[in-house]
Structure 1
Protein backbone atom coordinates (compact mmCIF):
# COMPACT_ATOMS: atom_id res chain seq x y z
CA UNK A 1 0.00 0.00 0.00
CA UNK A 2 1.57 3.26 -1.15
CA UNK A 3 0.14 6.74 -0.77
CA UNK A 4 0.53 9.32 -3.51
CA UNK A 5 3.16 11.83 -2.28
CA UNK A 6 1.33 14.59 -4.18
CA UNK A 7 -2.02 13.99 -2.50
CA UNK A 8 -3.08 16.75 -0.11
CA UNK A 9 -4.32 15.71 3.31
CA UNK A 10 -7.03 17.41 5.34
CA UNK A 11 -6.09 16.96 8.99
CA UNK A 12 -9.21 18.80 10.13
CA UNK A 13 -11.14 15.55 9.63
CA UNK A 14 -9.16 13.98 12.48
CA UNK A 15 -8.73 15.03 16.08
CA UNK A 16 -6.10 13.66 18.46
CA UNK A 17 -6.86 13.83 22.17
CA UNK A 18 -4.53 13.15 25.04
CA UNK A 19 -5.91 10.95 27.81
CA UNK A 20 -7.85 11.88 30.87
CA UNK A 21 -11.10 13.22 29.49
CA UNK A 22 -13.52 10.35 30.12
CA UNK A 23 -16.91 10.70 31.66
CA UNK A 24 -18.90 12.29 28.88
CA UNK A 25 -22.49 12.62 30.04
CA UNK A 26 -22.06 10.03 32.74
CA UNK A 27 -23.16 7.12 30.56
CA UNK A 28 -20.49 4.40 30.44
CA UNK A 29 -19.86 2.34 27.31
CA UNK A 30 -19.36 -1.24 28.52
CA UNK A 31 -18.66 -3.03 25.26
CA UNK A 32 -18.26 -6.73 26.08
CA UNK A 33 -15.39 -8.85 24.83
CA UNK A 34 -14.79 -12.57 25.09
CA UNK A 35 -11.06 -11.88 25.37
CA UNK A 36 -11.50 -10.31 28.78
CA UNK A 37 -9.90 -7.16 27.41
CA UNK A 38 -11.15 -4.45 25.11
CA UNK A 39 -14.35 -4.55 23.14
CA UNK A 40 -14.36 -5.75 19.56
CA UNK A 41 -14.94 -3.81 16.34
CA UNK A 42 -18.28 -2.15 15.90
CA UNK A 43 -19.22 -1.18 19.44
CA UNK A 44 -22.15 0.63 17.86
CA UNK A 45 -24.43 -2.23 19.01
CA UNK A 46 -24.56 -1.07 22.63
CA UNK A 47 -24.11 2.53 21.57
CA UNK A 48 -27.47 2.36 19.83
CA UNK A 49 -29.06 1.54 23.18
CA UNK A 50 -27.09 4.31 24.89
CA UNK A 51 -28.12 6.67 22.08
CA UNK A 52 -31.77 6.08 22.98
CA UNK A 53 -31.01 6.85 26.63
CA UNK A 54 -29.15 10.03 25.70
CA UNK A 55 -32.09 11.12 23.53
CA UNK A 56 -34.46 10.60 26.45
CA UNK A 57 -32.22 12.46 28.90
CA UNK A 58 -31.96 15.40 26.50
CA UNK A 59 -35.60 15.44 25.50
CA UNK A 60 -34.94 13.98 22.06
CA UNK A 61 -32.39 16.65 21.25
CA UNK A 62 -30.30 14.56 18.88
CA UNK A 63 -26.79 15.35 20.06
CA UNK A 64 -24.16 17.42 18.38
CA UNK A 65 -24.71 16.30 14.80
CA UNK A 66 -22.50 17.03 11.80
CA UNK A 67 -18.79 16.43 12.19
CA UNK A 68 -18.75 17.55 15.78
CA UNK A 69 -18.28 15.63 18.97
CA UNK A 70 -18.37 16.02 22.73
CA UNK A 71 -16.09 18.97 23.39
CA UNK A 72 -12.92 18.03 25.27
CA UNK A 73 -10.79 20.42 27.27
CA UNK A 74 -8.67 22.45 24.83
CA UNK A 75 -5.51 21.25 26.54
CA UNK A 76 -6.32 17.68 25.50
CA UNK A 77 -6.48 18.35 21.76
CA UNK A 78 -3.32 18.01 19.71
CA UNK A 79 -2.70 19.33 16.23
CA UNK A 80 -1.55 17.09 13.39
CA UNK A 81 1.26 17.93 11.01
CA UNK A 82 0.00 15.81 8.11
CA UNK A 83 -0.27 17.70 4.86
CA UNK A 84 0.59 15.26 2.07
CA UNK A 85 0.69 11.66 0.96
CA UNK A 86 4.44 11.83 1.54
CA UNK A 87 3.70 12.32 5.24
CA UNK A 88 1.31 9.35 5.11
CA UNK A 89 4.12 7.17 3.75
CA UNK A 90 6.31 8.17 6.73
CA UNK A 91 4.10 7.89 9.82
CA UNK A 92 1.20 5.69 10.91
CA UNK A 93 -0.77 8.64 12.24
CA UNK A 94 -0.63 10.50 8.92
CA UNK A 95 -1.49 7.26 7.11
CA UNK A 96 -4.68 7.07 9.19
CA UNK A 97 -5.47 10.68 8.26
CA UNK A 98 -5.06 9.75 4.59
CA UNK A 99 -7.36 6.76 5.10
CA UNK A 100 -10.05 8.94 6.68
CA UNK A 101 -9.76 11.50 3.87
CA UNK A 102 -9.97 8.75 1.25
CA UNK A 103 -12.94 6.97 2.83
CA UNK A 104 -14.93 10.17 3.25
CA UNK A 105 -14.16 11.41 -0.25
CA UNK A 106 -15.37 8.06 -1.60
CA UNK A 107 -18.69 8.20 0.23
CA UNK A 108 -19.18 11.89 -0.60
CA UNK A 109 -19.31 10.87 -4.26
CA UNK A 110 -20.84 7.41 -4.01
CA UNK A 111 -23.68 7.89 -1.52
CA UNK A 112 -25.58 10.55 -3.52
CA UNK A 113 -25.03 8.54 -6.69
CA UNK A 114 -26.24 5.20 -5.35
CA UNK A 115 -28.80 6.25 -2.75
CA UNK A 116 -29.64 9.90 -3.51
CA UNK A 117 -28.51 10.77 0.02
CA UNK A 118 -26.02 13.54 0.77
CA UNK A 119 -22.91 12.53 2.67
CA UNK A 120 -21.95 14.60 5.73
CA UNK A 121 -18.44 14.27 7.10
CA UNK A 122 -17.79 12.48 10.36
CA UNK A 123 -14.91 13.49 12.62
CA UNK A 124 -12.46 10.75 13.59
CA UNK A 125 -11.12 11.06 17.14
CA UNK A 126 -7.93 9.22 18.09
CA UNK A 127 -7.54 9.08 21.86
CA UNK A 128 -5.46 7.44 24.56
CA UNK A 129 -6.62 6.25 28.00
CA UNK A 130 -10.04 7.95 27.98
CA UNK A 131 -12.14 10.63 26.33
CA UNK A 132 -15.55 12.23 26.32
CA UNK A 133 -18.04 11.25 23.63
CA UNK A 134 -21.63 12.03 22.83
CA UNK A 135 -22.44 8.46 23.89
CA UNK A 136 -20.68 8.60 27.24
CA UNK A 137 -17.19 8.14 28.63
CA UNK A 138 -14.89 5.98 26.51
CA UNK A 139 -11.75 4.38 27.92
CA UNK A 140 -8.90 2.30 26.57
CA UNK A 141 -11.04 -0.79 27.31
CA UNK A 142 -13.33 0.17 24.42
CA UNK A 143 -12.51 -0.88 20.87
CA UNK A 144 -13.14 1.32 17.83
CA UNK A 145 -16.74 2.52 17.63
CA UNK A 146 -19.07 4.97 15.97
CA UNK A 147 -21.28 7.17 18.14
CA UNK A 148 -24.55 8.09 16.38
CA UNK A 149 -25.25 10.90 18.85
CA UNK A 150 -22.31 13.08 17.82
CA UNK A 151 -21.72 11.40 14.43
CA UNK A 152 -18.11 10.65 15.33
CA UNK A 153 -15.74 7.70 14.94
CA UNK A 154 -13.59 6.95 18.00
CA UNK A 155 -10.40 4.92 18.09
CA UNK A 156 -8.06 4.16 20.98
CA UNK A 157 -4.55 4.60 19.59
CA UNK A 158 -3.29 1.36 21.13
CA UNK A 159 -5.96 -0.82 19.51
CA UNK A 160 -4.03 -2.01 16.47
CA UNK A 161 -0.95 -3.25 18.33
CA UNK A 162 -2.45 -4.32 21.65
CA UNK A 163 -5.70 -5.91 20.57
CA UNK A 164 -5.94 -6.51 16.85
CA UNK A 165 -2.43 -7.91 16.55
CA UNK A 166 -1.88 -8.74 20.23
CA UNK A 167 -4.97 -10.30 21.79
CA UNK A 168 -6.61 -11.36 18.52
CA UNK A 169 -3.50 -12.40 16.61
CA UNK A 170 -4.17 -10.58 13.33
CA UNK A 171 -1.24 -10.05 10.96
CA UNK A 172 -1.73 -6.29 10.97
CA UNK A 173 -0.37 -3.85 8.42
CA UNK A 174 -1.50 -0.47 7.04
CA UNK A 175 -4.45 -1.78 5.05
CA UNK A 176 -5.79 -3.82 7.95
CA UNK A 177 -5.89 -0.53 9.85
CA UNK A 178 -7.63 1.12 6.91
CA UNK A 179 -10.23 -1.70 6.99
CA UNK A 180 -10.99 -0.93 10.64
CA UNK A 181 -11.62 2.73 9.83
CA UNK A 182 -13.66 1.84 6.74
CA UNK A 183 -15.82 -0.48 8.86
CA UNK A 184 -16.55 2.27 11.39
CA UNK A 185 -17.31 4.78 8.64
CA UNK A 186 -19.65 2.12 7.27
CA UNK A 187 -21.66 2.63 10.44
CA UNK A 188 -21.77 6.36 9.72
CA UNK A 189 -23.17 5.58 6.27
CA UNK A 190 -25.78 3.33 7.90
CA UNK A 191 -26.69 6.20 10.21
CA UNK A 192 -27.15 8.55 7.25
CA UNK A 193 -29.27 5.96 5.43
CA UNK A 194 -31.45 5.28 8.48
CA UNK A 195 -30.41 1.62 8.61
CA UNK A 196 -29.81 1.71 12.36
CA UNK A 197 -33.54 2.09 12.83
CA UNK A 198 -33.95 -1.49 11.57
CA UNK A 199 -32.15 -2.97 14.56
CA UNK A 200 -34.55 -4.90 16.79
CA UNK A 201 -32.88 -8.17 17.79
CA UNK A 202 -29.62 -7.83 19.69
CA UNK A 203 -27.96 -11.28 19.72
CA UNK A 204 -27.75 -14.41 17.64
CA UNK A 205 -26.28 -15.46 14.28
CA UNK A 206 -29.24 -14.04 12.32
CA UNK A 207 -29.85 -11.04 14.58
CA UNK A 208 -30.20 -7.47 13.36
CA UNK A 209 -27.00 -6.44 15.13
CA UNK A 210 -25.05 -9.11 13.24
CA UNK A 211 -26.62 -7.95 9.98
CA UNK A 212 -25.64 -4.36 10.83
CA UNK A 213 -22.02 -5.36 11.46
CA UNK A 214 -21.75 -7.53 8.35
CA UNK A 215 -23.15 -4.70 6.26
CA UNK A 216 -20.45 -2.38 7.65
CA UNK A 217 -17.88 -4.97 6.55
CA UNK A 218 -19.46 -4.99 3.10
CA UNK A 219 -19.28 -1.20 2.95
CA UNK A 220 -15.59 -1.43 3.89
CA UNK A 221 -15.17 -3.79 0.94
CA UNK A 222 -16.97 -1.32 -1.33
CA UNK A 223 -14.50 1.41 -0.43
CA UNK A 224 -11.59 -1.00 -0.89
CA UNK A 225 -12.72 -1.73 -4.46
CA UNK A 226 -12.34 1.92 -5.41
CA UNK A 227 -9.71 3.07 -2.91
CA UNK A 228 -7.00 3.62 -5.54
CA UNK A 229 -9.31 5.78 -7.68
CA UNK A 230 -10.51 8.23 -5.01
CA UNK A 231 -9.09 11.74 -5.54
CA UNK A 232 -8.36 14.73 -3.35
CA UNK A 233 -9.65 18.24 -4.10
CA UNK A 234 -6.85 18.74 -6.65
CA UNK A 235 -7.58 15.56 -8.59
CA UNK A 236 -4.70 13.54 -7.12
CA UNK A 237 -5.46 9.96 -6.02
CA UNK A 238 -4.73 9.24 -2.37
CA UNK A 239 -3.49 5.66 -2.84
CA UNK A 240 -1.23 4.62 -5.69
CA UNK A 241 -1.61 0.86 -5.37
CA UNK A 242 -2.97 -1.98 -3.27
CA UNK A 243 -1.45 -5.44 -3.41
CA UNK A 244 -3.05 -8.83 -2.92
CA UNK A 245 -1.20 -8.95 0.40
CA UNK A 246 -2.94 -5.73 1.48
CA UNK A 247 -6.35 -7.24 0.73
CA UNK A 248 -5.36 -10.49 2.45
CA UNK A 249 -4.41 -8.56 5.58
CA UNK A 250 -7.74 -6.75 5.60
CA UNK A 251 -9.54 -10.09 5.31
CA UNK A 252 -7.34 -11.48 8.08
CA UNK A 253 -8.34 -8.58 10.33
CA UNK A 254 -12.03 -9.15 9.51
CA UNK A 255 -11.68 -12.81 10.44
CA UNK A 256 -9.81 -12.01 13.65
CA UNK A 257 -12.77 -10.02 14.98
CA UNK A 258 -15.34 -12.70 14.15
CA UNK A 259 -17.39 -13.74 17.16
CA UNK A 260 -16.37 -17.39 16.87
CA UNK A 261 -12.66 -16.51 16.67
CA UNK A 262 -12.92 -14.28 19.74
CA UNK A 263 -14.72 -17.02 21.67
CA UNK A 264 -12.07 -19.55 20.64
CA UNK A 265 -9.26 -17.19 21.65
CA UNK A 266 -10.83 -16.79 25.08
CA UNK A 267 -10.80 -20.56 25.55
CA UNK A 268 -14.57 -20.81 25.71
CA UNK A 269 -16.98 -22.73 23.53
CA UNK A 270 -18.38 -21.23 20.37
CA UNK A 271 -21.91 -20.05 21.15
CA UNK A 272 -23.65 -18.52 18.09
CA UNK A 273 -26.63 -17.41 20.19
CA UNK A 274 -24.41 -14.82 21.88
CA UNK A 275 -23.01 -13.39 18.64
CA UNK A 276 -23.32 -9.68 17.95
CA UNK A 277 -20.92 -9.24 15.00
CA UNK A 278 -20.93 -12.45 12.96
CA UNK A 279 -18.53 -15.31 12.37
CA UNK A 280 -15.07 -14.97 10.86
CA UNK A 281 -16.23 -16.58 7.62
CA UNK A 282 -19.28 -14.28 7.38
CA UNK A 283 -17.21 -11.15 7.97
CA UNK A 284 -14.79 -12.17 5.23
CA UNK A 285 -17.64 -13.11 2.90
CA UNK A 286 -19.36 -9.73 3.16
CA UNK A 287 -16.11 -7.79 2.86
CA UNK A 288 -15.39 -9.73 -0.33
CA UNK A 289 -18.95 -9.09 -1.55
CA UNK A 290 -18.46 -5.35 -1.26
CA UNK A 291 -15.03 -5.66 -2.84
CA UNK A 292 -16.33 -7.57 -5.88
CA UNK A 293 -19.75 -5.94 -6.38
CA UNK A 294 -19.17 -2.39 -5.17
CA UNK A 295 -22.85 -1.51 -4.67
CA UNK A 296 -25.13 -0.72 -1.75
CA UNK A 297 -27.69 -3.19 -3.09
CA UNK A 298 -25.17 -6.03 -2.94
CA UNK A 299 -24.55 -5.15 0.70
CA UNK A 300 -28.20 -5.49 1.77
CA UNK A 301 -27.63 -7.94 4.61
CA UNK A 302 -31.04 -7.18 6.10
CA UNK A 303 -32.76 -8.79 3.10
CA UNK A 304 -30.29 -11.65 2.75
CA UNK A 305 -31.59 -15.10 3.70
CA UNK A 306 -28.10 -16.57 3.78
CA UNK A 307 -25.51 -14.62 5.79
CA UNK A 308 -22.89 -17.27 4.94
CA UNK A 309 -22.17 -18.06 8.55
Structure 2
Protein backbone atom coordinates (compact mmCIF):
# COMPACT_ATOMS: atom_id res chain seq x y z
CA UNK A 1 0.00 0.00 0.00
CA UNK A 2 2.85 2.33 0.80
CA UNK A 3 4.34 1.69 -2.66
CA UNK A 4 1.09 2.78 -4.36
CA UNK A 5 1.00 5.98 -2.30
CA UNK A 6 4.62 6.69 -3.19
CA UNK A 7 3.94 6.04 -6.88
CA UNK A 8 0.93 8.39 -6.86
CA UNK A 9 3.00 11.10 -5.18
CA UNK A 10 5.73 10.73 -7.80
CA UNK A 11 3.24 11.05 -10.59
CA UNK A 12 1.77 14.17 -9.00
CA UNK A 13 5.25 15.66 -8.65
CA UNK A 14 6.01 14.87 -12.29
CA UNK A 15 2.75 16.51 -13.36
CA UNK A 16 3.59 19.66 -11.42
CA UNK A 17 7.07 19.76 -12.92
CA UNK A 18 5.62 19.41 -16.43
CA UNK A 19 3.11 22.21 -15.80
CA UNK A 20 5.87 24.44 -14.45
CA UNK A 21 7.99 23.69 -17.52
CA UNK A 22 5.10 24.56 -19.83
CA UNK A 23 4.56 27.84 -17.98
CA UNK A 24 8.26 28.67 -18.36
CA UNK A 25 8.14 27.92 -22.10
CA UNK A 26 5.07 30.14 -22.52
CA UNK A 27 6.79 32.97 -20.64
CA UNK A 28 9.91 32.57 -22.77
CA UNK A 29 7.84 32.55 -25.99
CA UNK A 30 5.99 35.70 -24.89
CA UNK A 31 9.21 37.46 -23.96
CA UNK A 32 10.70 36.49 -27.30
CA UNK A 33 7.73 37.96 -29.17
CA UNK A 34 7.89 41.13 -27.09
CA UNK A 35 11.61 41.35 -27.81
CA UNK A 36 11.09 41.01 -31.57
CA UNK A 37 8.40 43.71 -31.54
CA UNK A 38 10.62 45.93 -29.41
CA UNK A 39 13.53 45.54 -31.81
CA UNK A 40 11.24 46.35 -34.74
CA UNK A 41 9.99 49.49 -32.97
CA UNK A 42 13.55 50.54 -32.19
CA UNK A 43 14.52 49.97 -35.84
CA UNK A 44 11.62 52.11 -37.08
CA UNK A 45 12.49 54.89 -34.63
CA UNK A 46 16.16 54.69 -35.67
CA UNK A 47 15.25 54.95 -39.35
CA UNK A 48 13.00 57.92 -38.62
CA UNK A 49 15.79 59.64 -36.71
CA UNK A 50 18.20 59.05 -39.59
CA UNK A 51 15.71 60.56 -42.04
CA UNK A 52 15.02 63.56 -39.83
CA UNK A 53 18.70 64.09 -39.22
CA UNK A 54 19.45 63.88 -42.91
CA UNK A 55 16.45 65.77 -44.21
CA UNK A 56 15.96 68.52 -41.66
CA UNK A 57 12.60 70.14 -40.96
CA UNK A 58 9.58 68.47 -42.50
CA UNK A 59 11.53 65.52 -43.89
CA UNK A 60 13.25 67.64 -46.53
CA UNK A 61 16.66 67.14 -48.09
CA UNK A 62 18.57 70.14 -46.79
CA UNK A 63 22.25 69.22 -47.00
CA UNK A 64 24.19 67.46 -49.72
CA UNK A 65 26.68 67.79 -52.55
CA UNK A 66 26.38 70.14 -55.52
CA UNK A 67 27.65 69.26 -59.01
CA UNK A 68 31.01 70.87 -59.75
CA UNK A 69 29.63 72.63 -62.86
CA UNK A 70 26.87 74.45 -60.96
CA UNK A 71 27.04 78.22 -60.46
CA UNK A 72 26.79 79.86 -57.04
CA UNK A 73 23.00 79.95 -57.47
CA UNK A 74 22.63 76.44 -58.88
CA UNK A 75 22.50 77.12 -62.60
CA UNK A 76 24.31 75.31 -65.41
CA UNK A 77 25.73 77.58 -68.11
CA UNK A 78 25.95 76.20 -71.65
CA UNK A 79 28.53 77.74 -73.98
CA UNK A 80 27.48 75.41 -76.80
CA UNK A 81 24.90 72.68 -77.18
CA UNK A 82 27.35 70.19 -75.67
CA UNK A 83 29.62 72.26 -73.38
CA UNK A 84 29.13 73.52 -69.85
CA UNK A 85 31.09 76.43 -68.47
CA UNK A 86 33.24 75.85 -65.40
CA UNK A 87 31.18 75.99 -62.24
CA UNK A 88 31.72 77.37 -58.76
CA UNK A 89 32.53 73.94 -57.27
CA UNK A 90 30.22 74.56 -54.32
CA UNK A 91 31.00 71.30 -52.52
CA UNK A 92 28.42 70.57 -49.81
CA UNK A 93 25.49 72.97 -49.74
CA UNK A 94 22.72 73.81 -47.28
CA UNK A 95 19.42 74.19 -49.14
CA UNK A 96 18.21 76.76 -46.63
CA UNK A 97 21.33 78.93 -46.91
CA UNK A 98 20.46 80.73 -50.14
CA UNK A 99 22.43 83.57 -51.76
CA UNK A 100 21.06 87.05 -51.13
CA UNK A 101 19.91 89.39 -53.90
CA UNK A 102 16.80 90.77 -55.56
CA UNK A 103 17.37 88.81 -58.77
CA UNK A 104 19.62 86.22 -60.38
CA UNK A 105 23.32 87.09 -60.35
CA UNK A 106 23.36 86.17 -64.04
CA UNK A 107 20.90 88.99 -64.81
CA UNK A 108 23.43 91.59 -65.89
CA UNK A 109 23.46 94.09 -68.78
CA UNK A 110 25.33 92.79 -71.81
CA UNK A 111 28.65 94.46 -72.42
CA UNK A 112 29.83 95.20 -75.96
CA UNK A 113 31.46 92.15 -77.52
CA UNK A 114 29.88 89.82 -74.98
CA UNK A 115 27.36 87.17 -76.01
CA UNK A 116 23.74 87.69 -74.91
CA UNK A 117 23.01 85.55 -71.85
CA UNK A 118 19.72 83.70 -71.57
CA UNK A 119 18.62 82.40 -68.14
CA UNK A 120 15.69 79.96 -68.07
CA UNK A 121 13.90 78.87 -64.90
CA UNK A 122 12.20 75.60 -65.74
CA UNK A 123 10.29 72.82 -63.97
CA UNK A 124 10.07 69.33 -65.50
CA UNK A 125 6.55 68.93 -64.06
CA UNK A 126 5.35 72.08 -65.88
CA UNK A 127 3.41 71.52 -69.10
CA UNK A 128 4.25 75.09 -70.21
CA UNK A 129 7.94 74.22 -69.87
CA UNK A 130 7.30 71.15 -72.04
CA UNK A 131 5.71 73.38 -74.68
CA UNK A 132 8.59 75.84 -74.43
CA UNK A 133 11.25 73.16 -74.98
CA UNK A 134 9.23 71.69 -77.84
CA UNK A 135 9.07 75.08 -79.54
CA UNK A 136 12.54 76.49 -78.84
CA UNK A 137 14.95 73.60 -78.24
CA UNK A 138 16.33 73.47 -81.80
CA UNK A 139 16.54 77.25 -82.09
CA UNK A 140 18.39 77.66 -78.79
CA UNK A 141 20.76 74.82 -79.64
CA UNK A 142 21.46 76.46 -82.99
CA UNK A 143 22.20 79.81 -81.34
CA UNK A 144 24.52 78.04 -78.92
CA UNK A 145 26.36 76.15 -81.63
CA UNK A 146 26.70 79.35 -83.67
CA UNK A 147 28.26 80.89 -80.52
CA UNK A 148 25.65 83.65 -80.53
CA UNK A 149 24.40 83.17 -76.95
CA UNK A 150 25.18 81.54 -73.65
CA UNK A 151 22.30 79.71 -71.97
CA UNK A 152 21.79 78.99 -68.27
CA UNK A 153 19.19 76.54 -66.99
CA UNK A 154 17.86 76.71 -63.43
CA UNK A 155 15.81 73.57 -62.70
CA UNK A 156 13.35 74.43 -59.94
CA UNK A 157 11.00 72.11 -58.05
CA UNK A 158 7.94 74.33 -57.63
CA UNK A 159 5.13 72.00 -58.69
CA UNK A 160 4.37 69.42 -56.03
CA UNK A 161 2.99 65.95 -56.64
CA UNK A 162 2.63 62.58 -54.96
CA UNK A 163 5.93 61.33 -56.37
CA UNK A 164 7.83 64.64 -56.11
CA UNK A 165 8.49 64.47 -59.82
CA UNK A 166 9.83 68.04 -60.09
CA UNK A 167 12.54 67.38 -57.51
CA UNK A 168 13.37 63.91 -58.84
CA UNK A 169 13.77 65.21 -62.39
CA UNK A 170 15.88 68.16 -61.19
CA UNK A 171 18.07 65.64 -59.38
CA UNK A 172 18.38 63.58 -62.59
CA UNK A 173 19.39 66.66 -64.61
CA UNK A 174 22.09 67.46 -62.05
CA UNK A 175 23.26 63.83 -62.25
CA UNK A 176 23.65 64.17 -66.01
CA UNK A 177 25.46 67.53 -65.72
CA UNK A 178 27.95 65.87 -63.40
CA UNK A 179 28.36 62.56 -65.24
CA UNK A 180 28.17 63.69 -68.87
CA UNK A 181 28.11 67.49 -69.40
CA UNK A 182 27.98 67.07 -73.19
CA UNK A 183 24.56 65.41 -72.85
CA UNK A 184 23.11 67.74 -70.22
CA UNK A 185 21.07 69.96 -72.54
CA UNK A 186 19.86 67.10 -74.70
CA UNK A 187 18.70 65.12 -71.68
CA UNK A 188 16.99 68.06 -69.97
CA UNK A 189 15.22 69.14 -73.15
CA UNK A 190 14.23 65.56 -74.01
CA UNK A 191 12.73 64.79 -70.60
CA UNK A 192 11.04 68.20 -70.27
CA UNK A 193 9.62 68.37 -73.80
CA UNK A 194 8.14 64.88 -73.58
CA UNK A 195 6.22 65.55 -70.37
CA UNK A 196 2.53 65.04 -71.08
CA UNK A 197 1.08 65.39 -67.59
CA UNK A 198 2.27 61.89 -66.63
CA UNK A 199 5.07 61.80 -64.08
CA UNK A 200 8.17 59.79 -65.00
CA UNK A 201 9.50 57.34 -62.42
CA UNK A 202 13.16 56.99 -61.51
CA UNK A 203 13.58 53.81 -63.52
CA UNK A 204 12.42 55.59 -66.68
CA UNK A 205 14.55 58.67 -65.99
CA UNK A 206 17.58 56.38 -65.80
CA UNK A 207 16.48 54.45 -68.90
CA UNK A 208 16.23 57.63 -71.00
CA UNK A 209 19.77 58.57 -69.99
CA UNK A 210 21.05 55.09 -70.79
CA UNK A 211 19.13 54.36 -73.99
CA UNK A 212 19.25 57.82 -75.61
CA UNK A 213 22.65 59.06 -74.45
CA UNK A 214 24.60 55.99 -73.35
CA UNK A 215 25.07 57.39 -69.83
CA UNK A 216 24.52 55.43 -66.61
CA UNK A 217 23.15 57.71 -63.88
CA UNK A 218 20.88 55.13 -62.28
CA UNK A 219 22.59 55.05 -58.88
CA UNK A 220 22.77 58.87 -58.77
CA UNK A 221 19.03 59.04 -59.45
CA UNK A 222 18.04 56.29 -57.01
CA UNK A 223 20.34 57.63 -54.28
CA UNK A 224 18.83 61.13 -54.67
CA UNK A 225 22.40 62.44 -54.72
CA UNK A 226 21.47 65.99 -55.70
CA UNK A 227 18.05 66.38 -54.08
CA UNK A 228 19.37 68.88 -51.52
CA UNK A 229 20.92 70.78 -54.43
CA UNK A 230 17.55 70.75 -56.23
CA UNK A 231 15.91 72.26 -53.14
CA UNK A 232 18.69 74.86 -52.96
CA UNK A 233 18.01 75.95 -56.57
CA UNK A 234 14.28 76.26 -55.87
CA UNK A 235 14.70 78.17 -52.64
CA UNK A 236 17.20 80.54 -54.24
CA UNK A 237 14.92 81.24 -57.21
CA UNK A 238 11.91 81.87 -55.00
CA UNK A 239 13.85 84.28 -52.80
CA UNK A 240 14.90 86.12 -55.98
CA UNK A 241 11.29 86.67 -57.00
CA UNK A 242 10.89 83.91 -59.60
CA UNK A 243 7.32 82.75 -59.03
CA UNK A 244 6.44 80.93 -62.26
CA UNK A 245 7.87 78.64 -64.92
CA UNK A 246 9.18 79.08 -67.44
CA UNK A 247 10.61 82.46 -66.41
CA UNK A 248 13.24 83.89 -68.74
CA UNK A 249 15.88 86.56 -68.47
CA UNK A 250 17.56 88.05 -71.52
CA UNK A 251 20.64 89.59 -69.96
CA UNK A 252 19.22 91.77 -67.14
CA UNK A 253 15.58 91.89 -68.28
CA UNK A 254 12.90 89.41 -67.20
CA UNK A 255 10.33 88.05 -69.68
CA UNK A 256 7.49 85.61 -69.91
CA UNK A 257 7.81 82.85 -72.54
CA UNK A 258 5.68 84.71 -75.09
CA UNK A 259 7.72 87.91 -74.96
CA UNK A 260 11.39 86.95 -74.72
CA UNK A 261 12.23 85.98 -78.29
CA UNK A 262 12.14 89.36 -80.00
CA UNK A 263 14.43 91.10 -77.47
CA UNK A 264 16.72 88.07 -77.51
CA UNK A 265 17.10 88.22 -81.28
CA UNK A 266 17.68 91.99 -81.12
CA UNK A 267 20.56 91.35 -78.72
CA UNK A 268 21.84 88.48 -80.89
CA UNK A 269 21.83 90.66 -84.01
CA UNK A 270 23.72 93.43 -82.22
CA UNK A 271 26.28 90.98 -80.85
CA UNK A 272 26.77 89.32 -84.25
CA UNK A 273 27.49 92.72 -85.81
CA UNK A 274 29.93 93.61 -83.01
CA UNK A 275 31.74 90.28 -83.30
CA UNK A 276 31.74 90.20 -87.09
CA UNK A 277 29.76 86.93 -87.18
CA UNK A 278 27.80 86.20 -90.33
CA UNK A 279 25.03 83.71 -89.80
CA UNK A 280 21.91 82.75 -91.72
CA UNK A 281 20.53 81.07 -88.61
CA UNK A 282 19.21 84.26 -87.02
CA UNK A 283 16.87 85.04 -89.90
CA UNK A 284 15.83 81.39 -90.19
CA UNK A 285 14.96 81.28 -86.49
CA UNK A 286 12.93 84.47 -86.69
CA UNK A 287 11.01 83.23 -89.73
CA UNK A 288 10.29 79.90 -88.06
CA UNK A 289 8.83 81.52 -84.94
CA UNK A 290 6.80 84.00 -86.99
CA UNK A 291 5.28 81.11 -88.92
CA UNK A 292 4.49 78.97 -85.88
CA UNK A 293 3.12 81.77 -83.70
CA UNK A 294 3.84 79.98 -80.43
CA UNK A 295 1.59 80.82 -77.46
CA UNK A 296 3.15 79.43 -74.28
CA UNK A 297 1.72 79.95 -70.81
CA UNK A 298 3.40 80.04 -67.42
CA UNK A 299 2.75 78.08 -64.24
CA UNK A 300 2.19 80.01 -61.01
CA UNK A 301 2.76 77.61 -58.09
CA UNK A 302 2.77 78.20 -54.37
CA UNK A 303 6.03 78.73 -52.49
CA UNK A 304 8.19 75.57 -52.73
CA UNK A 305 7.96 74.62 -49.05
CA UNK A 306 8.38 70.88 -49.76
CA UNK A 307 10.82 71.12 -52.64
CA UNK A 308 13.00 68.37 -51.21
CA UNK A 309 10.35 66.14 -49.66
CA UNK A 310 11.35 62.51 -49.30
CA UNK A 311 7.84 61.14 -49.86
CA UNK A 312 8.46 59.82 -53.35
CA UNK A 313 5.34 57.79 -54.00
CA UNK A 314 6.27 57.21 -57.63
CA UNK A 315 3.67 56.53 -60.26
CA UNK A 316 4.65 53.34 -61.98
| TM-score of the superposed pair, with normalisation by structure 2 | 0.25
| Max Rg structure | 2
Q: Which structure has more helix as a fraction of its residues? A: 2
